[in-house]
Amino acid sequence: MPGKILITGGSGLIGTRLSEMLIDQGYEVAHLSRKPGKSSHYKSFRWDIGESYLDDSAVTYADYIIHLAGAGLADQKWTNERKKEIVRSRVESTKLLISSLQRTEHHVKGFISASGVGIYGDAGDQLMSEESTYGDDFLAEVCKAWEGAVWPVKDLGIRTVIFRTGIALSDQGGALPQLARPVKLMAGAPLGSGKQYMSWIHMDDLCRLYIRAIEDTQFEGVYNAVAPHPVTNAEFTKQLAGAMHRPLMLPKVPSFAINLMMGEMSDVVLTGQRVSANKVLQTGFTFEYNYLEEALESFYKGKDKS
């Protein structure tokens, strides 16, 4: 079964863990990167999206392509320039991959791309399935454009899967360490109303889902990649404080203060989606971490309480 997996953006948070798990299962892994060789562990190929350059030997290497590359959503303030980069890095990169697939004699059997649950916009407490309507804020537009760019892969006769990913929980980076920092300093508090839903997924479950989508050909189309039990921001903060043995004493951080600090990017923390995992569960996939408490315990149990 194992084969050769090309991961775009493989040097990132998800790509790093996914690469390790693939190697453990006997796969060969290569990265497609703006700076090949940055990670010494893996074979790597170069692309340059601004220059419309992609080394075709990346595509001819692969049995499967996993497309994770994209400029970080919360790395920099959302200036117009940054917003363009966030979209361009996902859409133009996908187009580059497609042109390479069109012009080469390749043996790619599957193409699995990330997207985000942000596609549903600010959905309140409504449970969102893959059939639900899309939002119209910036994050929703990014995801719509990204998914729109990915679908033509299917027209090349390649099995195509899109994972609308929730907040991937890892102690190595991403949202969790950011949320944990104030809690550790006894300054943790729910953000805004605290009622916005956080649809999370443990990093290891997310990577197992990617591997399952490689191996199980019933995976085709779009899936929400979230754990079965999303929680509100207030509940998340409470459970995080509990897992870290810290009290939660401060009142909620008002939305206007977060808006002042983050501008439009405050959408990342002030809006939320309650997203359903039903479609993934119906494939027979089982989550190791169904509940937030178990997921947080995996990161903080036995850690220094000081």
Ligand X SMILES: NC(=O)c1ccc[n+]([C@@H]2O[C@H](COP(=O)([O-])OP(=O)(O)OC[C@H]3O[C@@H](n4cnc5c(N)ncnc54)[C@H](OP(=O)(O)O)[C@@H]3O)[C@@H](O)[C@H]2O)c1
DSSP 152: G
Measure the CA–CA gap between 77 and 147, rounded to whole angstroms: 24
Q: Which of residues 34, 83, 95, 252 is near ligand X by CB under 6 A?
A: 34
Measure the CA–CA gap between 250 and 253, rounded to whole angstroms: 8
Measure the CA–CA gap between 51 and 197, rounded to whole angstroms: 39
Q: Which of residues 135, 174, 182, 192 is near ligand X by CB under 6 A?
A: 174
Task: Give me 27's structure tokens.
Answer: 């796969």
Closest CA to 52 of 84, 20, 91, 15: 91
Q: Which of residues 19, 45, 98, 116 is near ligand X by CB under 6 A?
A: 116
Q: Facing residues of 221 across strands?
A: 161
Q: Which of residues 71, 96, 161, 275 is near ligand X by CB under 6 A?
A: 71
Contact status: 15 vs ligand X (CB under 6 A): yes
Give yes or no for a contact between 89 and 70, defined as CB atoms under 8 angstroms apart. yes
Please identify, using beta-carbon distances, which residue of 74 and 249 lies nearer to ligand X. 74
Candidate segments 34-42, 94-102, 179-187, 214-222, binder of ligand X by CB under 6 A: 34-42
Contact status: 176 vs ligand X (CB under 6 A): no
Give yes or no for a contact between 46 and 59, defined as CB atoms under 8 angstroms apart. no
Candidate segments 4-12, 213-221, 226-234, 275-283, binder of ligand X by CB under 6 A: 4-12
Interacting residues with ligand X between 210 and 269 (CB under 6 A): none
3-class secondary-structure state, position 53: strand
What's the one-letter identity of residue 287?
Answer: F
Lay out the site mask for ligand X across 72-101 (x = CB under 6 A, - = otherwise): xx-----------x---x---x--------
Which residues make up the interface to ligand X (CB under 6 A)?
Answer: 9, 11-15, 33-35, 38, 49, 68-73, 85, 89, 93, 114, 116, 165, 167-168, 174-175
